Amino acid sequence: MFHLDDVTLIYDIDKTNKVYAIKNITTTFPDHGLIGIIGPSGSGKSTLMYCMSTLKKPTCGEILYQEKDIAISYTNMSKKDQEQLRKSKFGFVFQRHFLISYMSALENVIVAANCSKGEAMSRAKELLQKLGIKQSEFSKKPHQLSGGQRQRIAIARAMLHEPSVLFADEPTASLDHTTAFATMDLLLEYAKKHLVLIITHDGSILKDADQIIEIWDGSILDREATI
Ligand SMILES: Nc1ncnc2c1ncn2[C@@H]1O[C@H](COP(=O)(O)OP(=O)(O)OP(=O)(O)O)[C@@H](O)[C@H]1O
Ligand SMILES: [Mg+2]
């Protein structure tokens, strides 16, 4: 579970044109469920996700991540501990997929595996298959794949180590509707036991989300439970 207390991130703080990317956000997130984050371009969605995942340090405010009895506060957390937290608990699908160009699709999925290679391979194949990637595509390099295939490989990579929290920034942006919905089904299944945060501009993929958060100009405008 996350607790955010009055979290603000200001970019270019030392310049005249300061940007309040997120402003005084106080909220909580449960330890499982699929939560959609929507809002106009530039409203602070990615920034919120970067702060929650320790990739960016808020200018002020506190973030607490708690799993079972262990509560971790981000205030004054060392870079090393942040890295450890990300590696062990968080999975990321970025707006840009960041696949490694000289590795095959399958190698890209297992690149950061923290289990044996055999185990990683079988889990990777299962995930790719669930995401609709054919076996004939496993050995292709990213430049030989379509944008949507690359995106799904990035999703499989993020899910490989079964993170407690999956942060996904526009994970279905390059997918056709049918593939987007199939991908969402996999993420919804995953969200039964884990927290899945999805940023999207396409509200229709959030029809089965547990909650939708609307961000406007750095603040949470609305938060609705859809079920
Ligand atoms: N590195 C940066 N330096 C300065 N300003 C930034 C930086 N990154 C983002 N911003 C600004 O912070 C605000 C929030 O950006 P953010 O990337 O969080 O928006 P977003 O809601 O994810 O937008 P999009 O839907 O386009 O991805 C924007 O005004 C953006 O211009
Ligand atoms: Mg963004």
Rounded distance from Cα 10 to ligand 2 centre (Å): 16
Q: Residue 226: what pLDDT?
A: 54
Question: Residue 71 falls within a domain, yes or no?
Answer: no
- pLDDT, residue 227, reads 47
Q: Is residue 219 part of a domain?
A: yes
Ligand with minimal distance to 219 CA:
1
CA distance 102 to 81: 30
* Domain span at 213: 30-54+87-225
Does 1 reside within a domain?
no
Nearest-CA residue for atom 19 of ligand 1: 42
How far is the centre of ligand 2, averaged over its atoms, from the C-alpha of 41 (Å)? 7
CA of 41 to the centre of ligand 1 (A): 8
Question: pLDDT tens digits, residue range 42-63?
Answer: 999 999 999 999 999 999 999 9
Token reading at 167 = 């942060």
**119: pLDDT confidence band, cut at 50, 70 and 90?**
very high
Residue 115 pLDDT: 84
pLDDT at 225: 60
**How many other β-carbons are positioned within 10 Å of the β-carbon of residue 98?**
13
Digit-coded pLDDT (tens) for 136-182: 999 999 999 999 999 999 999 999 999 999 999 999 988 899 999 99
Q: How far apart are CA 5 and CA 227, in angstroms?
A: 26
Residue 28, CB-side half-sphere exposure with 13 Å CA sphere: 6
For residue 47, the domain's CATH number is 3.40.50.300
Percent of the chain with pLDDT over 70: 98
Find the residues whose C-beta lies inside 6 A of ligand 1. 11-12, 19, 21, 39, 41-47, 95
Residue nearest to atom 2 of ligand 1 (CA): 11
Structurally, the chain folds into a number of domains equal to 1
Position 112 confidence tier, pLDDT thresholds 50, 70, 90: confident
